[in-house]
Copies of this chain bind each other. A is one copy, B any other.
Amino acid sequence: MVVNFSIVPIGKGNSLSTQVAEVLKIVSESGIDYKLHAMGTILEGDWDDVLGLVKKCHKKILKDSDRVLTTISIDDHKGRTGRIAGKVQSVKRKLGKELKT
């Protein structure tokens, strides 16, 4: 399955890049395939691996903040893999032109 997630500490100031960097440190060392974009991080894997990783990141940010909002969107398409790149390629192919990605 492919998962998009974001983790936001409340009440820690306007900038969130320090906390996102902490999350991406954990993600990039996890061995799980990922992709960072401006509005979240995409992961691909099975439920326990992916949700286990999101839990680890959530708990890390909760160490330095009293309130954390985490959003998780899951697209689970049976038997499909390689979809972080594949879904985007499929749209380009259907449209027949290059897109900003």
Contacts and interface: CB of A to CB of B under 8 A. Distances in A.
A11 B13 contact: yes
A52 to B, nearest CB: 10
User: Contact size class for A?
Assistant: 35 or more
Contact of A76 (B67, B77, B87): B67
Interface in A21-65: 21, 24-25, 28, 33-40, 42, 47, 51, 55, 58-59, 62
Interface of A: 2-4, 8, 10-14, 16-18, 20-21, 24-25, 28, 33-40, 42, 47, 51, 55, 58-59, 62, 66-78, 83-88, 90-91, 93-95, 97, 99-101
Given A14-B67, A35-B38, A66-B77, 11 more contacts: A8-B8, A8-B10, A20-B94, A37-B101, A39-B73, A47-B58, A47-B59, A51-B51, A69-B73, A69-B74, A69-B75
